[in-house]
Chain A
Amino acid sequence: MSSPTSTPGRRKRNRDDIPATPKSTVSPPSQRRRGQDSSNGDLPAMPTSPATDIASPAVHDTSLFSSPKAPSHHLNALREVDMSSPLMYGTPSSRVEGTPRSGVGGTPARQRPDLGSIRKAPQVDLHSEPPSADGAVASEQALGQKLVIWGTDVNVGTCKEKFQRFLQRFIDPTSNEDENAGLDLNEPLYMQKLEEISVVGEPVLNVNCSHVQSFDADLYRQLISYPQEVIPTFDMAVNELFFERFPDSILEHQIQVRPYNALKTRNMRSLNPEDIDQMITISGMVIRTSQLIPEMQEAFFQCQVCAFSTRVEVDRGRIAEPAVCRNCNTTHSLALIHNRSAFSDKQMIKVQESPDDMPAGQTPHTTIVYAHNDLVDKVQPGDRINITGIYRAVPMRENPRQSNVKSVYKTHIDVIHFRKTDEKRLHGLDEDSDQKLFTEERVQILKELASKPDVYDRLSSALAPSIYEHEDIKKGILLQLFGGTRKDFSQTGRGNFRAEVNILLCGDPGTSKSQLLQYVFNLVPRGQYTSGKGSSAVGLTAYVMKDPETKQLVLQTGALVLSDNGICCIDEFDKMSDSTRSVLHEVMEQQTLSIAKAGIICQLNARTSVLAAANPVESQWNPKKTTIENIQLPHTLLSRFDLIFLMLDPQDEAYDRRLAHHLVALYYQSEEQIEEEFLDMAVLKDYIAYARTYINPRLNEEASQALIEAYVDMRKIGSGRGMVSAYPRQLESLIRLAEAHAKVRFSDKVETIDVEEAKRLQREALKQSATDPRTGFVDISILTTGMSATARKRKEEVAQALKKMIQSKGKTPAMKYQQLFDDLRGQSEAAITKDMFEEALRALADEDYLTVTGKTVRLL
């Protein structure tokens, strides 16, 4: 290996007398060979800008002594060295000076421990042999030669220029990221961000790597492969640009570039040795954060004899204690002064793979992450985050007493950027929070599937294949899984429209309702499964808890909030207590949860679809009663369900036969046969995820007409018999269902066929649940008011008959209750129950016609 044994001694104030210690490399040499990459020389020849000189070794070569360095693979310059150079923007000591400052020179640079304690790498000339003697590089330094940072193919000047061009020119008209809200999409994005920095004064520039990639793929590659060299260059570039534009602005420290969204790696599991020292982005969940660790950056030594002081940089966690005082030449007289040393903040964070992207049957992996400076305490345990950082591997400590080493490396990630994935849930606009990356082939498979004419039927039969028939119910659930299009009417003052479809299943026990719920719960990534019996209002919504460690009040979210953007499956809905159920009112229409407890007042998003299952009160469904009477749920709640299905045991021979066939087949079919018949659950999952993310259908003209007609028709049916048969809520759910059906087809337009299917499904559900058992007609008022129109009519008739009877009796101011009941029964043709009689009495009492006191009835 042609190693630059004679790396030109850089300026080393105060370190000249330190015995040079042979270095052990920080990073293990991975298989990729950096030195050879550079020989490709595929960079366009760029004139070296004068800025290159800043970092070039020649300028630094002012010291008298140059400590001979052991051949080190990663001989990268520590930034402190640069800071001590007069050409750099500041020195550590300038930080304490309180003088007003502005401009590049005046703003102190801040160390970036996130990039590792590295030196500014020396540059080497591609075309020349590696330097063999001190100062050789300096002499070879000439314009026009391509200088690259040692071990890479990065030319500082080129790289800087490219990045500045990117900042000045990059426009992303399609951006919909929430950070960019309020920015003009047709202006260079990052220039606006710089302007923002000058106003806000927060010297951090977040750069989306995908932007870099689309602008300059080569720059992106360099950024990913050599982050610890490229990012400082970016810093330099951005600061020059910034202080050129805003020469008067005052920042706390120089702007730091924080790239994020590196497309290299998405999953913790796929990290491998090739990723070492590269920039990666992974997602995961924070499980533990450590206390703040003060990490020494610069040690301060003072001579006990002559009080001469000296500073020593910490190099990879070690301080080389000066053995001899330079001033008085006393040996071993220097003592470390802690409170004059410079420290930086550091925090260890443990991140665990998020449960969604793990193979079944394995345990989640964890990774150690180090956050530095202002990234400390940015995340809490339980947060789901995307981390962009540099992957590191460090060999296990060498034990001086032992000659052999454990052959294992410790790995960690130095964080550059955190991005909370669930943070946005509190803000809204989160279509991309679940965004899964689909490979081209996968998308192709899904699209192919979508183009099939019978995709709707295929998908619905793929849903819970072990459950027999109930095709319409499965179709309803399928549409629920896709959901409608989210619309925002907040500008007109109505707020969000509910896009989620709610479904209630009621029916006889043992009709596999629970199984259906379990299936759905397993299918959707953010599903929650609770049982009405076991859950309290608190468990569903949110509760306030005192953190045992910090004694702080913490808001813990319940099932409904946790299933935001997912499906909340509630079994035994009927067994839920009334107070618990009342929570659902807000969730199911407004899709929010308001909490006011223990001093915390807030509104959480709970855009969850509810899939509930209820058993009839009398354990067996009574076909002579209405849905409301059967399940005893308040109609206010029922009307919030888009579809209410009955799952009944049909008890007919043909059905039995098919059921038996289905079950027997379940038991003897082999795996392959099953595969053939049904879609893979994974495909279904991806299909739904894809449609939910990318498809946002809108109504077209005909579909709107069809919807209007459908609604008018529904109203008409009722008006013919003197009752209302449809409410705007029905229209809304019709729209939702139609949109969901369009999503199933991967169509961006809601067309007439979607409306037709929505109509059919809704009719089907109504036929089952809103049929008046007395008349056989579908009557929506059963669900909206809890009583069918015929029942109401009947009630009035009884009251009138009673009134007539009393009037016919003449002047009797008081009557016996029982007698009156008997009389009425005798008079009436239809059977009159006690309930009906009492209702009639109450109705008359409301009219102020009579009062009931105990067992007597008085006329007024």
Chain B
Amino acid sequence: MPSSHDWINKPLGVVEAMFAQSNSNPEWEAKVLEYFKGQLKEKESHSWVPSLNDVPLHYLKPNSLVKFRCLVQDMFDPEFYMGVYETVDPSTKANVLRCGKYKDVTECGVDLNSRNTVTAERQTFYCVPIPGESPWAKEISFLSAARVVPSTSYVPSRQKRSYEEDDDDMDTQPQKQREPHTEPHGNGDSKRQETEAPSSQTTTPSDCSSHLDLNFPLPGERGPACLVKVYEGLDSFKLNDTLEIYGILSVNPVLTVLGEEKDPSLLLLNPTESMETPEEQRAHDPPASLVPRLHMLYARPLQHNNPLLPSAPTEDQSAFVSSFLVEMASVRAELLAYLTHVLLGDGLAAEYLLLHLISDVYTRRDVLPLGKFTLNLSGCPLNSYTERLYQIVQQLVPCSYRLSMSLHTMNSMRLVPKKDYVANRLVSGALQLARNTSLFLDETQLEQGQLDSSGVRNITALGNLISWQKVDYDFSYHQMEFPCNINVLVTSEGRSLLPSDCQVPLQPQVTPPNMEEYLTTIHMAQFTSQINKFRVYLSLARTLDYSISDEVTKAVEDDFVDMRKDDPQSVTAEDLHRMLVVARLLSLSLGQTTLSRDGWMRAKHIDMLRRSRTEQQKSLNGNEP
């Protein structure tokens, strides 16, 4: 069983053994990486590694191998460390060569003047759990991790309940705060909350003094943030990458002490200490008990964070895909029916919503992102309909965030990440999201009033995000452009003030007297297995390849020319762009990887339907005085 695996429990032992064998031959570093990669390749072996996402920090063994599913939120400056150093035994005066890699702290008695010291370079990434990860994704990945007994003393039996608590958000916070007092030395659950409390902004009394902002992109997020020390392939990582990192956990309390204890007299005389402002200290050296350090041995970029799909691109994934492809059409029909119910019986809107949910920026041609499909659902009923709609979307996609565009939030919220030069870190904003996150913009919340300058900036940022799929991060002296891949869904009463690729006015076929009840019953009627199928379907459809044959290309061209011939004003290049995207998504949603003539006709057809509907809407509005 996993407990016998030394490479999980004592990875440093493995590293040191290899270092000792190497006789300072630099090849040992590659060997170490090779070894861990090989171990992780073995079937199931990666699931034996406990995950920081699921297991509370204090249940994990220090210096053991752990994994962390995260987003690279910030990249700190590279640092130089002692890769190899020599220690002197005070009693025997013998010099011993030691390896400093994958460690924060050196052994006793370092000989700083040794000529064998090798300085090496590494970089620190500030990583946070994937923002907006849906509760169901967390829960499933947690449960699957619990199947194998992690190499800790932690028994995760009570975890289930606490995740349910997480679902109903702010209301339960006060109660949670009370909990440690009511049952002081209770079970593991309450302990867990004690440690998590500071990260979720509700500080328990003891933490009040050293309040730490863990810099999560979205408000109300929780979970461990992590300082990941990266040794190899620094250029291959980018900001906002989602990664699964395997590394050695380091929670040495020394790290905290070094950061906190300040002898003022020493500070005065030692110039190196005055380099950093207190803010910077706090941002870069937070207590290890809150922000553990992780020394990366292996990292895997994640295409998606859907725990229901095999994450590794291996043979079993392709097997999984081909087995699912058979079902694809039927699942699609069921999902469409489900969405039609949700959208009050509007089949066309449901079709478009489905296409939107599987859209993905699959490539960029110079500045133009291809494949984005921002949907504007206009004519949404008021009174918490949109809120319920979001909850349903959240149930389907692994990552989502609802931004209620009320005047207050637009004026006060930070959407665009901004560099804080005092603390020397990138202060996150709500638009720093992982790829394929569903961003639900609720414009029905917008009321009349004045946007101040930050509100205007926020709206501009949203507009840029939708039209170019990029966010200009604010570096105060200049802006820096970061491409992103976010699915934006705008719900509004009338036409949205934001640009969109496609607007669908909602035409409810049913008007349930009690909206809440109606939607809840629909939601409850679905079995979990059914919902899971939907989840797999949406994630999978996105990953399929797609191509257009020459023959169909020709047909599409002819079609376009014909349409233009009838009425050149009605069909523009932009329309063709959109129809090509619709055709692509439509084919993929059916599990077809090439565009057929039929698919093209269908795309054209539904686009016609949609356009006639918007025009109808326009004329309706035009008649109004």
Contacts and interface: CB of A to CB of B under 8 A. Distances in A.
A395 B112 contact: yes
B113 A405 contact: no
Contacts of B120: 273
Interface string B260-302: 0100001001111111000000000000000000000000000
Contact of A519 (B78, B367, B477): B367
A70 B88 CA distance: 15
Interface string A82-120: 000000000000000000000000000000000000000
A319 B367 contact: no
Interface in A331-387: 346, 348, 350, 352, 355, 359-368, 370, 381-382
A519 B77 CA distance: 31
Contacts of B573: 468, 510, 512, 659, 663
Contact of B106 (A288, A317, A405): A405
Contacts of A653: 561, 564-565
15 contacts: A29-B117, A30-B119, A317-B271, A318-B269, A350-B424, A363-B74, A366-B424, A395-B112, A397-B272, A412-B275, A465-B365, A653-B565, A667-B548, A667-B580, A667-B581
Interface in A277-319: 285, 287-288, 293, 295, 317-319
Contacts of A519: 366-367
5 smallest A-B Cβ distances: which pairs?
A: A361-B238, A668-B548, A660-B560, A273-B119, A660-B557
Contact of B78 (A365, A397, A466): A365
The majority secondary structure among interface residues of chain B is mixed
Interface string A662-687: 01111110010010000001000000
Given A522-B367, A671-B363, 11 more contacts: A30-B119, A271-B78, A362-B75, A404-B110, A408-B79, A510-B574, A519-B367, A653-B564, A657-B561, A659-B573, A667-B581
Contact of A348 (B235, B275, B565): B275
B55 interface: no
Interface in B101-155: 103-110, 112-115, 117-121
Given A272-B121, A361-B238, A518 B272 contact: no
B80 interface: yes
Interface residues of B, number: 85
B553 A28 contact: no
> Counting chain A CB atoms within 10 Å of each CB, which of B257, B275, B366 scores highest?
B366
Question: What bracket does the count of chain A residues touching chain B fall in?
Answer: 35 or more
B276 to A, nearest CB: 9
A350 B419 CA distance: 14
Contacts of B245: none
B551 to A, nearest CB: 12
A138 to B, nearest CB: 26
A62 to B, nearest CB: 28
A595 interface: no
A376 to B, nearest CB: 14
A31 interface: yes
A660 B121 contact: no
Given A407-B104, A465-B365, A515-B367, A657 B557 contact: yes
Interface string B70-93: 000011011111100100000000
Given A28-B82, A31-B118, A405 B110 contact: yes
Given A293-B274, A365-B77, A366-B424, A407 B105 contact: yes
Contacts of B270: 317-318, 397
A801 B194 CA distance: 96
Contacts of B212: none
Nearest to B364: A466
A40 B108 CA distance: 37
B433 to A, nearest CB: 15
B366 A522 contact: yes
Contacts of A317: 269-272
Contacts of B424: 350, 366
Interface of B: 74-75, 77-82, 85, 100, 103-110, 112-115, 117-121, 235, 237-240, 254-255, 257-258, 261, 266, 269-275, 363, 365-368, 370, 419, 421-422, 424, 426, 468, 475-478, 480-483, 546-548, 553, 556-557, 560-561, 564-565, 568, 572-574, 576-577, 580-581, 584, 595
B547 to A, nearest CB: 6
Contacts of B119: 28-31, 273, 276, 393, 409
B497 to A, nearest CB: 14
A411 B81 CA distance: 10
A601 interface: no
Contact of A406 (B254, B482, B548): B254
Contacts of B481: 522
Contacts of A671: 363
A515 B368 contact: yes
A663 B478 CA distance: 34
Contacts of A370: 271
A362 B561 contact: no
A288 B80 contact: no
Contact of B568 (A295, A408, A649): A649
Contacts of A393: 80, 119
Contact of B273 (A395, A397, A412, A522): A397
A160 B270 CA distance: 34
Contact of B561 (A382, A656, A668): A656
B572 A510 contact: yes
A152 to B, nearest CB: 15
Contact of A681 (B366, B477, B480): B366
B564 to A, nearest CB: 5
A402 B257 contact: yes
B568 A651 contact: yes
B553 A348 contact: no
B367 A674 contact: no
Interface of A: 1, 24-25, 28-31, 33, 70-73, 271-273, 276, 285, 287-288, 293, 295, 317-319, 346, 348, 350, 352, 355, 359-368, 370, 381-382, 393-397, 399, 402-412, 464-466, 468, 510, 512, 515, 518-519, 522, 649, 651, 653, 656-657, 659-661, 663-668, 671, 674, 681
Nearest to B577: A663
Nearest to B80: A409
Contacts of A73: 113, 115
B216 to A, nearest CB: 17
A522 B114 CA distance: 50
Contacts of A359: 235
Contacts of A273: 80, 119-121
A287 B277 CA distance: 14
Nearest to A520: B367
Contact of B115 (A29, A271, A405, A656): A29
A408 B80 contact: yes
B576 A663 contact: yes
Contacts of A366: 77, 424
Given A33-B115, A656-B561, A361 B483 contact: yes
B275 A368 contact: yes
A279 to B, nearest CB: 18
A355 B475 contact: yes
Contacts of B422: 288
A348 B272 CA distance: 10
A363 B254 contact: no
Nearest to B456: A534
B478 A355 contact: yes
Contacts of B109: 403
Contacts of B553: 661, 664-665, 668
Contacts of A71: 113
> Counting chain A CB atoms within 10 Å of each CB, which of B109, B239, B258 scores highest?
B258
Contacts of B235: 359, 362
A644 to B, nearest CB: 22
Nearest to A657: B561
